[in-house]
Amino acid sequence: MTISAFTLTHNCLVAGIPIIEAIEAVRDYTDEIVVVDMQSTDGTLSVLKKLGVRICTSQWPHPDNPHDTLGNAFSLHQECCQGDTILFFEADEVYDDNLLQAIRWEVLQGYNNLAV
Contact status, residue 3 vs residue 55, Cβ threshold 8 Å? no
Q: Report the C-alpha gap between 71 and 108 in whole angstroms.
A: 28
8 A C-beta contact, residue 30 and residue 3: yes
**Geometric angle at alpha carbon 110, from 6 and 35, rounded to 5°:** 5
pLDDT of amino acid 82? 92
pLDDT digits (tens, 9 = 90+) for 5-38: 999 999 999 999 999 999 999 999 999 999 999 8
Rounded to an integer, the average pLDDT of 95-104 is 91
Residue 44 confidence class, pLDDT cut points 50, 70, 90 = very high
The string of pLDDT tens digits covering residues 58-76 is 877 766 665 666 677 777 7
